[in-house]
Amino acid sequence: MAKSIEIKIPDDIEFRVMGNALGMLIVFAGLLGGEMVRQRSFDYWLEDIFPLLLLFGLGYRLFRNFLSTMIAYKDEISPQAELRNRQIREALKLEPAAMAQITAKTGLSPEKVMDEVARRIENKKLEALKKDKFIN
C-alpha cells in the first residue's frame, strides 16, 4: 500500500523565494569582485570558496522554495470557477425529492434508476450553465 505524502508549505513562501533570490544576487556581486573574475581563471576557485558555497546553498533553497510556491498555487481555483461551482451547487439543491420515488412509481431496476438520476443531474447542470450564459 502506498503512503500518502503531505507537503507542508509555509505561509510566507513568497518572501522566502524573494529573499533567496536577493541573497543570490548579493553572492553574485561578491563573486564578481572575487579573485576568479579578477584573474580570469578557475585556478583561483579556492580563494572564492565561501561565495561559491553560498551560491550553491542559496540556489538549492531558491529552487526548493520556488517549487513549493508552484505547488501551492497549482490547486488554487479562480474566482470565476468558484462562482460557477457555487451556482451549479445552488441549482442542484433545488432538485425535488421525486427522484427517490422513481422505483415505486415506475417499477424500474436500481441500475436504470441510477442512469435516470445521472441524466437528470446532467440536465440540471446544463440548464444552470445555459441560464448563466456559460454555454451558448
Instruction: Classify burial at 106, counting beta carbons within 10 Å of its beta carbon; exposed 0-12, middle 13-18, buried 19 or more.
Output: exposed
For residues 84 and 132, which has the higher predicted lDDT (pLDDT)? 84
Q: Is pLDDT of 135 > 80?
A: no
List, for residues 29-57, the tens digit of each pLDDT value.
Answer: 888 888 777 887 777 777 778 888 888 99
pTM over 0.75: no
Quickly tell me which residue has 576568479 as its cell.
Answer: 36
State how far the alpha carbon of 24 is from the alpha carbons of 8, 21, 29, 87, 101, in Å: 24, 5, 9, 47, 67
